[in-house]
Each structure stands twice: as C-alpha cells, then as structure tokens.
Amino acid sequence: MKSTSPNLFRIFSVVTLAASVSVVSCSNPTPEVQEVQATPATLALSTETHLSNIKQLTFSGQNAEAYFSADGSRLIFQSMDGDDQCDQIFTMRPDGSERTLVGTGKGANTCSYVYPDNQSILYASTQQGGDACPPRPGMENGYVWAIYDEFDIFRANIDGTNPVRLTTNSGYDAEATIGNDGHIVFTSVRDGDMEIYSMNGDGSGVKRLTNMPGPDGGPFLSADGQQIVWRGRHPAPGAELDEYFSLLKKALWKPTSVELFVMNRDGSNPRQVTNLGGASFAPFFTPDGTKIIFASNHHVPGGREFDIFMVNVDGTGLEQITFSPEFDGFPMFSPDGTKLVFASNRNGAKPADTNVFIADWTW
C-alpha cells in the first residue's frame, strides 16, 4: 500500500522486507519491452489451494497495488526500481505485456485506478507542490507514514496525458478508487481527521461518509456499488488518540494497527468486520459481494509476515489464502472472479523486492 515518501498509502509493509514502495513521477508514456522469464514451480505452494498457474508479472524493484480495469483487459500499478526515488505509475496487460509508464513526471504519484470506460485513469499526486519527490519522514517519531498535504487526486487520459485536478482542498487527498458506475471513494484529512469521502467521476458532489475519530482509509466499492469496505481504527479517548491527532497535525501517521469495516454506499450502517489485532489492510470484495479478501499480519508473533486472508462480510469464516514466509498483499479479483492479482516478496531478485503476480482462482 504500501513505505517511503508517499507510502503507497494502502500498503502495510510495516517492519517487513515487503515493499517500501513510494510513488513518484512518470515521464512520457513509453512501452517497455521486458524479457519473458520462466515462472518457477516454487511459486505455487501446496497449501495455497485456491491458487494455481501463478505467473510473475514484474521481476525487480518494488511493485504493488496492481488493480484490474473494469473489463479485465489491463492492470494499473505503481513501481520503484533502479535509480527512481519514488514510485512511478504503469499499466500493463494481465499477462505482463505492454508495460507502459504513465504520468506527468512531476511530484509523487500513488493510488492509481482505471475508470470504467477504460479511457481514463485516476491517481493521487503531489505535482501541484513541485516537481521533486517529497522528503521522507525521519525516525524521531518512530515508524510513520507521511500524509503529505500536497497530495491531490487527478484524472488523466489512459496514457497519462491531460491530467485534470479533481480535488483542490488543502490537506491530504488520495487513496481513490472507482466503482463500476464511475462513483469515486477516497481518503482525505480536509476536516482534520483521516476520513472516507465520495464524489462523482468529475470531482463534483463530494460527501463525507465516515465520522469516527481515528484513521480511516483505503476504501473500495463492491461490484454492485452498494457497499464500501475500508481499513480503520477508532481508539477511545486517551493517549493513543491524542498521539494520532498530534502526528496528523504534522502530516504523519503510525500505521501499526487497523481492522476492516464495511458500510453502505451512502455511509450508513458502518460495522466492523474483523477484530484480529495487528494490521489488516487492502480489503477487496469478492465479485458476488459476500466475502472480503485482504492482507494481514495478525497471525505471526511480532507481525513480521503478511499473508492474504478471506472472510465473510459478517466477520465469520476466516480463511488463510497464502502461506509464503514473506510478504503477500494487495489482492484483487478479476471482474469475472477467475483470477487473483497480488503483490509478493516470493522469488524476488533481492530480499527487499516486491513483485506483481497473477494466479488462476479456484473457488
């Protein structure tokens, strides 16, 4: 999500070797020719019974938050590799071909998504605050994410050209995703807390959906557009909540403990789904809306390993999906439910590499 400067704000790579995927500028759209590499048999673990024919789509650096377009024809994701100081946004086909760099080449860019018409992309960027990658936070406050005030949400053509700014409020606006009807949900601190908002595809009709003190973010809509799932934490008044607001005033957040929540599209009937402890993040509905797939470190002492889990919307039936002894996260189903795309440290060229994988899904 997901961390360095812009933090991939839906990632929870905290204290693992998982992605420190920060996000930044892209130059003019340029297709990359990548050598086809063999998929080793070790990618498919015998315990991962829902997954088969796992294919690795990226092969170096830190790559994550790969999301399908509504028609399943392409993936959009972010990557930092080589001399890059922040993440760049790419699109590619689900087989890893036609990898194309998209963006303006200015500022830090993160949290990208494809509009339902497959003609536009949505992403967050600090480009209004300058061309350079924002400075990373120090460790004087411990492990924190920077919630940069300069982040705004943009819409651009599918190749990244003609970016249009959709949010203009002061403070962090990012983590935007889109429903199949073009409805956008996103995270903002415009009212002094990290909350979930919605808006139309052109940026109009902004509405605040959550009103609980504490960090709420990373929202996704169900396929029918009627439910929203997100990660959040709502401490009781006291030291933890005081520290949260104190750090937020410095545009910082400690992402160490979050659970999953679901609410109706209009913000009504919010309810907590998980109560696992640790960090559960990157939730996504199954195509039929009855289950949620997500990443969590609740099952490992010290929280040093993330795996993918699935749970019923009512919180029952928790099931572990991946078992790699490293990082697995950012799961998303293809629109028809036959494939799962996710990020993982498995088979990395270097210990800290995180790559994008795709697998056939067996129900």
pLDDT tens string, the chain, 363 residues long: the values are 333 333 433 444 433 433 333 322 222 333 343 444 545 556 879 999 999 999 999 999 999 999 999 999 999 999 888 766 788 899 999 999 999 989 776 788 889 999 999 999 999 999 888 888 888 888 888 889 999 999 999 999 999 999 999 999 889 999 999 999 999 999 999 999 999 999 999 999 999 999 999 999 999 999 999 999 999 999 999 999 999 999 999 999 999 899 999 999 999 999 999 999 999 999 999 999 999 999 999 999 877 899 999 999 999 999 999 999 889 999 999 999 999 999 999 998 998 899 999 999 999
Neighbouring residues of 96: CB distance < 8 A, sequence distance ≥ 6? 34, 36, 55, 56, 57, 58
The verdict on residue 41 lying in a domain is no
DSSP structure class, residue 246: H
Q: Please state, in angstroms and rounded to a whole number, the distance separating the CA atoms of residues 128 and 222.
A: 31
Return the SS3 of 179: coil
**89-to-70, 105, 123 alpha-carbon distances in Å:** 18, 10, 9
DSSP 8-state code for residue 358: E
Which residue range forms the structural domain that includes residue 260?
A: 48-361
Tell me the pTM: 0.89
CATH number at residue 306: 2.120.10.30
The answer to whether position 270 is within a domain reads: yes
36 located within any domain:
no
Look at residue 14 and tell me if it is in a domain.
Answer: no
In a domain, 80, yes or no: yes
| Rounded Cα distance, 138 and 127, in Å | 22
- Total domains in the chain come to 1
Contacts of 178 (CB under 8 A, 6+ apart): 113, 114, 115, 116, 122, 184, 201, 221
Residue 141 lies in a domain: yes
User: Of 354, 356, 352, which is closest to residue 340 (Cα–Cα)?
Assistant: 356
Residue 332 belongs to some domain of the structure: yes
Residue 180 resides in a domain: yes
DSSP 269-309: S-EE----SSBEEEEEE-TTSSEEEEEE-TTSGGG--BEEE
